[in-house]
Structure 1
Amino acid sequence: MRHNQLRAFHFVAIHGSFSVAAEKLKISQPAVSDQVKKLEQNYDTLLIRRHNKKITLT
């Protein structure tokens, strides 16, 4: 796990949005999604459920 993966997850969790997290982190939304996916792969578990434009923490 890398620090930026955990930070991306943290910002998504706090703001409830990949787009807002990206804006706050000053990176692209696909980069945030990629970091969260990598974190999920590292732990072999789903951390965020994605429902259209809404998210739910697991």
Structure 2
Amino acid sequence: MSLTHLQSFVAVAEEGHVGRAARRLHLSQPPLSRHILALEDELGTRLFERTSRGMRLLPAGEAFLCHARRILAEVDAAVLAVRGLGADRTDH
């Protein structure tokens, strides 16, 4: 599972639409759709219901969204912590 797949999942979940999520991530729709399909394949379950109006989270998607957001927040926190330590080392 890649961070890109998690970021793609969260964007589609929040936007409710692949096109809007693709614009938000500065991607075209086909690769974003492939990210979602790859994630669903890896998890062994569908996360979204595809509708004529967009994408709606299924119960598995609702459950996974909380975890995906937490993982991405932890990665962001780790990056900030390491950058802070790197800045401290260059100040000496």
Smaller-chain TM-score range?
A: over 0.9
1:24 aligned residue: 24
- Partners of 1:54 and 1:5 in 2: CA distance: 18
Q: Which runs of 4+ in 1 moved over 3 A?
A: none
| One-letter amino acid of the structure 2 residue matched with residue 28 of structure 1 | S
The structure with higher relative contact order (CA 8 Å, sep 6+) is 1
CA deviations over 1:11-41 (Å, ceiling 9, x no partner): 0001111001100100111111000000000
- Please report how far the alpha carbon of residue 54 of structure 1 lies from its aligned counterpart in structure 2 after TM superposition: 2.4
1:53 aligned residue: 53
Q: TM-score when scaled to structure 2?
A: 0.60
How many equivalent pairs are there?
A: 58
Rg larger in structure: 2
2:49, 2:56 within 8 Å by CA — same for their partners in 1? yes
Alignment RMSD, CA only?
A: 0.8
Larger helix share, 1 or 2: 2
Q: Structure 2, unaligned stretches of length 5 or more?
A: 59-92
